[in-house]
Structure 1
Amino acid sequence: MKIKYLLSVIAIVAVTKNSFAQYSQDAVRFSGAQTGSTARIKAVGNAGTAIGGDLSSISGNPAGLGFFTKSELSLTPEYNNIKVNSTYQSTHGTDTKSSGNLNHAAFVIYQQLNRPKGTDRSKGWLSFNYGGGYSRTNNFYENINYAGSNGTNSINDYYASQANQFGIDIGTLAGNAYDHNLIDNYGTNANPNYKSNAFPGVDQQSIITRTGGQSALDFAFGANYSNKFYIGLGVSFTDVRFNSLSNFYEDGALSVLEGSPTPVAVTRDYSSKFTQDQNTRGSGFSGRIGAIFKPVDAVRLGAVINTPTYYTIDDSYNESLATSISNGSRFEDGPQNYSLTYNMRTPWKFSGGASIFIKSFGFITGDIEYIDYSSTHISSDENFNADKDDNPAIRSLYQSAVNYHVGAEARIASFFLLRGGYGIQGKARRDDNASDIKTVSGGVGLRFGAYYLDATYTHATGSQTVYPYEVGSASPGALLNRTLDNGYLTLGYRF
């Protein structure tokens, strides 16, 4: 397989000046999924490890299923809006994207265990509950648009560096740039030295459209022992879908050789468009084991161990280059396709939490999660050597991270509950090219006998610096500040 030239920014962690390995980005893109949950748990900061008795337990801590004393089902649609504010070459821009999805759907079946007559029915194994569900764990929908005037370099400098490193073979990006007169050989045939033909001062714009997400089918069971100790097991079958269409535009002036028999250098205006189209599909599976312990009725302590997700991923990448020059020349090459199927193992995740219940007035809850992104591993095969670039890049670029979640629920009336929460998703990169993601949440709950309704709003913020192309320390960076506003509505029924 011919290694593709990777330039695109990605959903969670951008291409940076440190590495251009092909698939190491997936260490965060597909490992940063959030636990699927109902609107109730989202409202308390997604801190559900030690709460129990909520359908989020199917995808979270399966031990929480042991708290159910009735069967139950629920449905949670969502509305998402993401706004990306950009700063590139001191020029500000913004773009937005809205979408609606089914975020969570689940059921649990309550199975009380038969006990001999005359025995203490509050001791021993009391129930064995099981359930299944669907959860959307990651959303890749977003539009990114940044533009500015670059007086330092051109994307042609990147093409020239590729030519100096790999040559200008037919069908390669560097070969196309050479054919389009964007770069030329300023050395000799024996010792080529490719450079950009562009004059300093170019206008640049990047427009990126992304769609897709991650979702999981979850199955779990939980058991109750003496209303003190709860244990559960769960499995997830995960689906990944990621699409990214990126167009990078550049306008400026360049030196073109014209005339015969002795060509002379002439200054001409030019416009170029570099297009990248990535489509990724994948599936995987993982497991988890959890426990909740109640030392006293008011306190619950929970823990979950999530195994890695073992993915098989199909990646298809297309790139093309189109150029127009004011002398009437038109060039277009591509799309050139590069495809690969590979396996990836995401990190283990360890979670712990505690909840304090204040009789029937509500509760306070908190979680902490640990995940080491640098332990992500991509498998090599006869078509692809991941140990050459990608796995070393994962170990050098990424780090372990700690995520925090806190929240509370207050019962204002017998039928009305008020909730709030806060969460921090620790940054996965070792450098400063990305920040923590901070989420504030709030919601309400209504109870009508066997029916209930929960509504939640979340507001998340984070930033990252992305680089449209790589030219060493002079690589131009775009600062992206993301704001995500999400609404969730859970409709539930107990029976």
Structure 2
Amino acid sequence: MKPKHILFVIALLAVSKSSFAQYAKDAIRFSTGQPGSTSRIKAIGNANTAIGGDLTSISGNPAGLGYFTRSEASLTPEFDSHTSNAGYLGQSATATKGNPNMNNAGFVFYSRLNTPSGNEKTKGWVSLNVGINYNRTNNFDERVNYGGKNSNNSINDYYANLANAEGTDQGTLQSWAYDQKLISAFASGTGFKYASNSYLGVQQTGYINRTGGQSGSDISVGANYSNKLYLGFGLGIASLRYNSTKTFNETGTASITEGALPADRGFNSTYSQYQTTKGEGFNMKFGVIYKVVEAVRLGAVITTPTFLTIDDSFSEGLTNRLSNGSSYANGPIEYPLTYTMRTPFKAAGGVSVFMGQYGFITGDVEYVDYSGTRLNNNDYYTNSYDNDIIKTTYKSAVNIRAGAEVKLGPVALRGGYGIQPSPLKTGGTDTKTTTAGLGYRLGSYYVDAAYMHITGSRTELPYNLNLPSNPVASINQTNNNFFLTFGFRY
């Protein structure tokens, strides 16, 4: 492993570490998300494997394209509202963030296949339809604030632990802490032992701001055989953008030396981390829908791993001000790296039951093995550490989605629910989604609206001392998202 990457790993094992490496954490972050879809499918909990005839089929189950009997196009903007409630050391704080996005846009070209003269036009290969779309599959936007008084330890204890384990080579985080009088070296046997300079009872404040998301552009084909069997294939081009700013501020009193004399001085230190990540990749989908009887459809779709090339840039900095007027600043220092990875294989199955012109009910299950996520070696990066963490920390999960639509003439009422289990083997919580919506059809034109209420929780360790007294921020997250689809058939 090259020295530059060693420094990078040390940096990533700093405050942002949640008991495992940042690369492994990012790999799973980029392997989760919600399906990109129209408002109609959003409103029924994103269950679309056995529906067909919706533009979501382009990026969902491409076999559903075989149900189209006319060409169609639609556009779906969204507004996302994120709220986080963080508890830390007995204190609570709330932060909000909202922004508009384009969630889905697509069109389908209907092409009826020629039927030999004298043959029934509903037998054999009836149509072959092509769809192209853009869809947003993951939203990283969030803002988190937390803080409280810590009477058990300090982030300076973390810097001291790093110094004792790794030394204080120039340019490392712990060397900055030493130079900024946050830690000191004390004689211990034939060497030195580093320890925090701060007294217990420090005030701590954390701030996280993230932006970006994942999206895809798909081109898919779907075929209709005898209005009974529908087959589809899709090729997806994936893209991701992820930006993260994290700061951790600590104030208190430190015992330092001024000249040769000891002195107690107030300190105000801030550790900052910045990450910018971009990636591109591709995947493929193979789908089938079978009409058992007129009212019942069974569907299945397999999604290959997404093969991604990631350009990652991490930087960090440390500042400190003392009450005697001294101030210090180191960094930010950037640690860039390019690597490749693959997300997990996915397999989904679904069933839909239609009630004539009155609507339908539908449900999906989707299997995802997060432990199968893999990062690849290159000249600047060795993958064994992160891949071992992925295999031991993460597990497979079965996502469940269900929904229903009731038609009242030109108006449709919809509702749905979904559960996305945590990829963590221990300590994770499920993400739960409740949806509702309505639609209106007027000739060849339609408009659909959907509301999504998403809840989940996670923890954030500002630093890790491997002790029961580790400070932990418990974060409850809520997203209230609104979608509006405008479409027409021609």
Match of 2:451 among 454, 457, 460: 457
Local SS of the residue matching 2:24: coil
State the alpha-carbon separation in 1 of the partners of residues 13 and 446 from structure 2: 48
Partner of 2:417 in structure 1?
Answer: 422
Alignment of 1:265-304 (within 5 A): 265-304=262-301
| 2:67 aligned partner, one-letter code | F
- AA aligned to 1:249 is N
Aligned pairs for 1:174-323 within 5 A: 174-188=174-188, 190-259=190-259, 263-323=260-320
Instruction: Give the CA deviation at 1:120.
Output: 1.4
After superposition, residues 90-489 of structure 1 pair within 5 angstroms as 90-188=90-188, 190-259=190-259, 263-387=260-384, 389-412=385-408, 414-432=409-427, 434-473=428-467, 474-489=469-484
Aligned pairs, number: 483
Counterpart-to-counterpart distance in 1, 2:109 and 2:84: 42
Question: Are the equivalent residues in 2 in contact too, given 1:8–1:246 (CA < 8 A)?
Answer: no
**Does structure 2 retain, via aligned residues, the 8 Å contact 1:7–1:468?**
no
* Conservation of the 8 A alpha-carbon contact between 1:9 and 1:466: no
Mapped to 2, the partners of 1:264 and 1:392 lie a distance apart of 49
Deviation string for 1:284-333 (max 9, x for gaps)?
A: 10001000001101000000000000000000011000000111211000
1:136-195 Cα shifts (integer Å, max 9, x gaps): 001111111001011111111111111111111111101000000101112349422111
3-state SS of the aligned residue for 1:192? strand
Equivalent-residue separation in structure 2 for 1:477 and 1:435 (angstroms): 16
Q: Please state whether the residue corresponding to 2:162 is helix, strand or coil.
A: helix
Counterpart Cα distance in 2 of 1:142 and 1:94: 12
- Structure 1: distance between partners of 2:190 and 2:104: 62
CA–CA distance in 1 between the matches of 2:210 and 2:13?
15
SS at match of 1:176: helix
Alignment pair present for 1:83 and 2:101: no
What's the offset of the Cα at 1:430?
0.9
2-side partners of 1:139 and 1:201: how far apart? 37
Task: Please give the secondary structure, in 2, of the residue aligned with 1:36.
Answer: coil
Paired amino acid for 2:386: D
Q: How far apart, CA to CA, are the structure 2 residues paired with 1:166 and 1:104?
A: 49
**In structure 1, what is the equivalent of residue 18 of structure 2?**
16
For 1:69, give the aligned amino acid. Answer: T
CA–CA distance in structure 1, aligned partners of residues 224 and 14 of structure 2: 49
1:22, CA displacement in angstroms?
3.3
Cα distance, 1:27 vs structure 2: 2.6
Which segment drifts farther, 376-385 or 183-192? 183-192
How far apart are residue 466 of structure 1 and its match? 1.1
Output the CA distance in 1 between the equivalents of 2:442 and 2:94: 43
Correspondence for 1:29 = 29
Secondary structure in structure 2 of the residue aligned to 1:169: coil
Deviations 1:426-472 (A, max 9, x none): 1100111x310001000000000000000000101001111011111
Question: Which residue identity is paired with 1:463?
Answer: S
Which sections of structure 2, spanning at least 5 residues, go unmatched?
Answer: none
Q: Is the 8 A contact 2:39 2:449 kept in 1?
A: yes
- The reply on whether 1:493 has 2:478 as its aligned counterpart is no
SS at match of 2:27: helix
> Following the alignment from structure 1 to structure 2, what is the Cα–Cα distance between the partners of residues 194 and 394?
32
- % identical aligned pairs: 50
Q: CA deviation at 1:117?
A: 1.4
Cα offset, 1:8, TM superposition: 7.5
Distance in 1 separating the partners of 2:308 and 2:71: 33
Aligned residue in 2 for 1:55: 55
CA deviations on 1:324-380 (whole Å, 9 max, x unpaired) are: 011121100001111100001100001000000001100000000010111100001
Normalised by the size of structure 1, how large is the TM-score?
0.96
Distance 1:372 1:339 in 2: 29
In the alignment, the residues of structure 2 paired with residue 9 and residue 303 of structure 1 have an alpha-carbon distance, to the nearest angstrom, of: 43
1:103-159 Cα distance to aligned partner (Å, 9 max, x none)? 000000000000111101111110000010000001111111001011111111111
Q: What code does the residue aligned with 1:80 have? A: D
Q: Give the conservation status (yes or no) of the 8 Å contact 1:455–1:489.
A: yes
> What is the identity, as a one-letter code, of the residue corresponding to 1:367?
D
- CA distance in 2 between counterparts of 1:444 and 1:391 reads 44
Distance in 2, matches of 1:9 and 1:410, equals: 50
Q: CA deviation at 1:33?
A: 2.4
1:6 aligns with 2:20: no
Conserved 8 A contact 1:27-1:373 = no
Shift of 1:9: 8.1
- Structure 2 distance, partners of 1:317, 1:187, is 35
Instruction: Verify the 8 A CA contact 1:124 1:226 in the aligned structure 2.
Output: yes
* 8 Å CA contact 2:5, 2:381 repeated in 1: no
Contact kept? 1:197, 1:254, Cα under 8 Å: yes
Shift of 1:7: 5.6
- Counterpart amino acid of residue 317 in structure 2: S
The more displaced of 366-375 and 466-475 is 466-475
RMSD: 1.2
5+ residue gaps, structure 1, are none
Whether the aligned pair in 2 keeps the contact of 1:123 and 1:225 (CA below 8 Å) is yes
